[in-house]
Every structure is written in structure tokens, then in C-alpha cells.
Amino acid sequence: MDMNESSEKGMEGNGSSGVEWQSQFSGGFSTQQHHAHMMDSFAAASGMWAAPSAASQNMSGLSDVNGMSAAARGAGFLAPVPGFLPPPGLGAHFPVDSGFIERAARSSCFVGPGAGGGMMGGFGGAGDQHMGSAFGGASDGYLDHRRKDDKAEQELGSGGVPSSEAAGGDCSSKGSDSKKRRRPSEVMGGDQVQSSNVAADSANESAHSKDKGEESSPATATTTGGRSKGKGAKEESEKEDYIHVRARRGQATNSHSLAERLRREKISERMKLLQDLVPGCSKVTGKAVMLDEIINYVQSLQRQVEFLSMKLSTVNPRLDLNLEGLLSKDLLRFPGVSSSSIGFSPEVMHPQLQLSQPGLMQGGAGAMGNPDVFRRIMQAQLGGAKDGSQQMPHALNGSFSDHVAAQMAYPSSQDLSIRPSQDAYQM
């Protein structure tokens, strides 16, 4: 695809600038291979990058100003912000929704490419590290939360798990911050830890007392901007941890409360992501109301599934292989052409089907992908639970691995997991 090729070229260009970026930042950042790795996954996943050239410009601008004048950097960074993708140099001007959620998706724990089949571990583990460090570099200039960085930095030293989560959280919050920026986006001293984004996010959402704490000591934060941020930069940042902690005002510096705050920030950042998923929740703030909306939405979706399955069970079973193949082709040919998001609108579907059917006359029997695996599952389900318990995990693993092999599951599934608006309301 042209887009992929161009985007890959853009990524390579950005990768090189990303390298010099890292060298300037001196530390903590993962090596370039992480960048390349992430970029590859991103290239594979999104493929919708409109302006790789613009992205490279952004990157160069960033590396130039690196560490110099915060304002300049912030300005250079902020220009493409609305559509800026977290992976450095891959900023494309998406529609805000799509870019936002895609960013969140990439940065989220779903991305664990190295995590393989590891589920929970993989969630917060390797993928986050990759993402987090690269994003940490890219997130500079987003906001000025150096203090939060420091606090997160200290916390990185204290706990391994929170750091990885923070990384993932940061990456997601980066996107959310670009979308909902309540803080003035001044620069960043340049080397924000990933958690800076999370911190920024939480600060945006939670108490405004943090604002006071923040603005009260901007100078110290600027000077003590942790140069050596990053996942593995604990040793380097230790000497700065002390200063960072002191720079923080009006906040408890207990490690427990830090962990708690980090967790809260991650939760708030995810709530923001969910806001984009759930329709009609862009104006809602607050965890309780958002949770309520999410619950309602999930309930409505599940009810829709019930209703549709009831409808399907009433239809006269006259399934032919032709129909299945044609339906598969139908989905293939009209990927984005789908009915509305939520409402029941069968009449909208009808014209689409009529359109597709004449064109699919010679559709042969569709190739059933994994019928055996699935049949095993279904037999287990329908026939009896005895062999199901043994077969199911195996079938699951088999099908999962198949899909992993076939679909590049991680980037693909995480792309799907939090898809942007073009799919969000058209799926």
C-alpha cells in the first residue's frame, strides 16, 4: 500500500532523528530498536498516516530545541498537536477522535508485542516499556509536569509494576491530553518521563489543588528537569529524585500515596479514553457518571446481541455455503459501510445488501478459516461439558495462535480494541 510505504519511509527518517533525540536526552530511553519496533507495529497497525513529512518536520523541530527554550519547544510541538500521534515522527493529521483513540490504543497495554501470549503480565509489561520510553521522549513539550515526572520517577524506583503501568498510562494519556488540554501546553523540559502525561492527565481531571502545587514552583522544576527519565534510568535520576520530591508542594511524598496517585491517574486517563468510545460522553466528567454511561452502553450492546440472536433464531434455517461465502465477501467489500452505530436500523442495511448481492453472484463457498477449531468448541459447548474443558483451552490456544499469526494480532487487535471513530461508530 502506498500509505504504508510512505509511512515507513517517514518512520525511518523519524527513527534516525529519534536516535539523536535519545542521545541528547542521555538516558533512560530505550534503544532505537524499541523505536523501530514500535514504529513497525504502528505502521502495520494504522496505515493511515497522512503526513509523514509533517511528522519528520516535527521531529526535527523537537530535536533542535531539545532542552533549550521550553516555550519554543512547546510551540513547535504543539502545532500539530490535534492530530499528532505519539510515536515520534509518525504524527499524522487524523481526525481527532481517531488519532486520539489510536494513540491510546497503541500506547495501551494491548500493544505488548513482546508479551506474546502473556495476558495480564503482557498487559502491563514489555509492551508498555517499549511504548512508554519512546512516548516519554515524544511527549516532551506536551505539558509542563516536570514535577509529576519527578514524582513518578521516584515511584519508578520504588516499584516496578507501577512504572510499567505508568508508561502505558502515559502513552494513552498523551493522546488524551492532546485532545483535552486543560493545562497550558508549555514546554516541557524535555525529558519527561512517560508518567508525566499521566500526571498531567490526572491533574487535569482531579483536584485543582495540584495546579497550585504545580505553578508554585515552576523554576525549580525547570532547572531540575529530569534529564534521565525513562524506564531504566533509576540510577541516574536518583540524584534528582531528592530535588524533585522537594520541589513538589502540598503533596504527600509517601511512596504509598505516590502509588495511589499514579493508579488514580491511570484510571482517569482510561476514563478519558472510554469517553471517546462511549457515544455522547464527551461532556461528561467525573468517574461516577462515566462509569454509569459505560455500564449503560455495555448493557445496551448486550441487549442488542440478545435481540439479534432472537431474530436470527426465528429465521428459517436455510443456510448454504454460498450465503456464508457471500456474506464474508460482503463484509470484505464494504468494510466501512455499515449501519449506524447503535440504533436498530435494518432498513439501512437493506439497500446495502441489495447493492452487494448483485455484485457477488459468482461468490463461491467462502473458505472457512478455522472451522475445525471452532467446531470443536461448539461441539464441546453443545454436546457436553466434559470434553469441552479439555478441548477448549487447546482450541483457544490454537485459534488464538492462528489469529496471532494471521492478523499480527497484537498491533491488529490493539488497533481494533480501541478503534478510532471511523470504526467506532461504524463497526
Task: Please say which residue, 24 or 322, places its beta carbon nearer to other proteins.
Answer: 322
Shortest reach from residue 290's CB to other proteins, in Å: 9
- The span of 21-29, 141-149, 184-192, 259-267 binding other proteins (CB under 8 A) equals 259-267
Is residue 396 within the footprint of other proteins (CB under 8 A)?
A: yes
Figure out which of the listed residues 173, 274, 285, 365 binds other proteins, where binding follows CB under 8 A: 274
The identity of residue 32, as a single letter, is Q
Run of H or E including 77 = helix 70-78
The one segment of 16-24, 56-64, 233-241, 267-275 that binds other proteins by CB under 8 A? 267-275
Mask 86-115, x = binds other proteins (CB under 8 A)? ----------------------xxx-----
Report the site for other proteins in 140-179 (rule: CB under 8 A): 161, 165, 169
User: At its nearest, how many Å lie between other proteins and the CB of residue 241?
Assistant: 19
Q: Measured from the CB of residue 142, what is the shortest distance to other proteins in angstroms?
A: 21
- Contacting residue, 19, 75, 245, 416, with other proteins by CB under 8 A: 416
Residue of 13, 259, 284, 285 that binds other proteins (CB under 8 A): 259
What's the rounded Cα separation, in Å, for the pair 242 and 254?
13
Is the CA virtual torsion 351, 357, 358, 359 positive or negative?
A: positive
The yes or no reply on residue 343 touching other proteins (CB under 8 A) is no
Buried b / exposed e along 393-425 (16+ C-beta atoms within 10 A): eebeebbeeeeeeeebbbbbbbbeebbbbebbe
Q: Does 288 bind other proteins (CB under 8 A)?
A: yes
Binding of other proteins at residue 83 (CB under 8 A)?
A: no
266 scored as a contact of other proteins (CB under 8 A):
yes
**What is the closest distance, in whole angstroms, from the C-beta atom of residue 213 to other proteins in the complex?**
13
**Could you give the CA distance from residue 161 to residue 24 in angstroms, rounded to a whole number?**
27
Question: How far is CA 291 from each of CA 111, 129, 297, 304, rounded to the nearest angstrom?
Answer: 24, 28, 10, 20
Q: CB neighbours of 47 closer than 8 A, spacing ≥ 6?
A: 1, 3, 4, 7
DSSP 8-state class, residue 51: -
Question: What is the Cα Rg of the chain in Å?
Answer: 24
Q: Which of 203, 223, 206 is nearest to 214 (CA)?
A: 203
- Alpha carbons 293 and 291: distance in angstroms, whole number: 5
Asked whether position 409 contacts other proteins by CB under 8 A, the answer is yes
Closer by beta carbon to other proteins, 74 or else 162: 162
CA–CA distance, 10 with 4 (Å, rounded to integer): 10
Q: Is 351 in the site for other proteins (CB under 8 A)?
A: no
As measured in angstroms, the least distance from the Cβ of 275 to other proteins is: 10
Residues 291-320 that bind other proteins (CB under 8 A): 291-292, 294-295, 297-299, 301-302, 304-306, 308-320
Contacts of other proteins in 201-220 (CB under 8 A): none
C-alpha cell at 46: 494504522
Instruction: Kindly give, in sequence order, each residue whose CB lies less than 8 Å from that of residue 221, ignoring residues fewer than 6 positions away.
Output: 144, 146, 147, 150, 189, 244, 247
Nearer to other proteins, 70 or 90 (CB): 90
Tell me, by CB under 8 A, how many residues bind other proteins: 132
